[in-house]
Structure 1
C-alpha cells in the first residue's frame, strides 16, 4: 500500500490507485488531508490525460497502417490480374 510519493517515479499504475492510502488530518480534525487528496487526483488526471492522448495517437497510426495495407493489397491484387 502506497502513501505519499510514488517510489518508481514513472506513470501511475492501477495498483497505485487501488492501494493508495491518504494521511489523516491533524489533531482536532477528522478525515483525510485535502491537499494530499487533491495532489493524488491531479496525478491521476494527468496520467489519464496522457493515456487518452497516447491512445488517440495509436488509433490514428493504426488507421494509417490499415489504409496503407489495403492500398498495397489492392495494388498487388490488380497486378496479379494482368
Structure 2
C-alpha cells in the first residue's frame, strides 16, 4: 500500500492556488441569505496566497534536502575511499 492512501486508492490531488482562486460558489436560492460574494473572494484570495507561499517553501526545502543528501553521499564516498 502506498503511504497516505486508503486501501490502495490514489491520494487526492494537491490543492493549488489556482484551484482556490478559480473556485465558484453557487448563488443562494430564493429566500435564502447566502454569503457576501466579496468576502468569499477576499478569503479565497488570502488562502491562495498562503498556499502559494507554502508550495514555494516545500519546493525550496525539497531542493535543499536533495542538495544536502548529495553532499552527504559525496562525503561518505570520499571517506570510504580513504579508509584502507
Gaps of 5+ in 1: 1-27
1:14-25 equivalent positions in 2, closer than 5 A:
none
Q: Which residue of the partner structure matches residue 78 of structure 1?
A: 81
Give the alignment partner of residue 65 of structure 2, picking from 43, 62, 66. 62
Counterpart check, 1:32 vs 2:30: no
Higher helix share: 1
> How far apart, in 1, do the equivalents of 2:33 and 2:64 lie?
50
TM-score (norm 1): 0.63
Q: Which residue of the partner structure matches residue 50 of structure 1?
A: 53
C-alpha RMSD of the superposition: 1.5
**TM-fit CA distance, 1:29:** 7.0
TM-score (norm 2): 0.61
How many pairs were matched up?
Answer: 54
Greater relative contact order (Cα < 8 A, sep 6+): 2
> How far apart, in 2, do the equivalents of 1:29 and 1:70 lie?
63
**TM-fit CA distance, 1:67:** 0.1
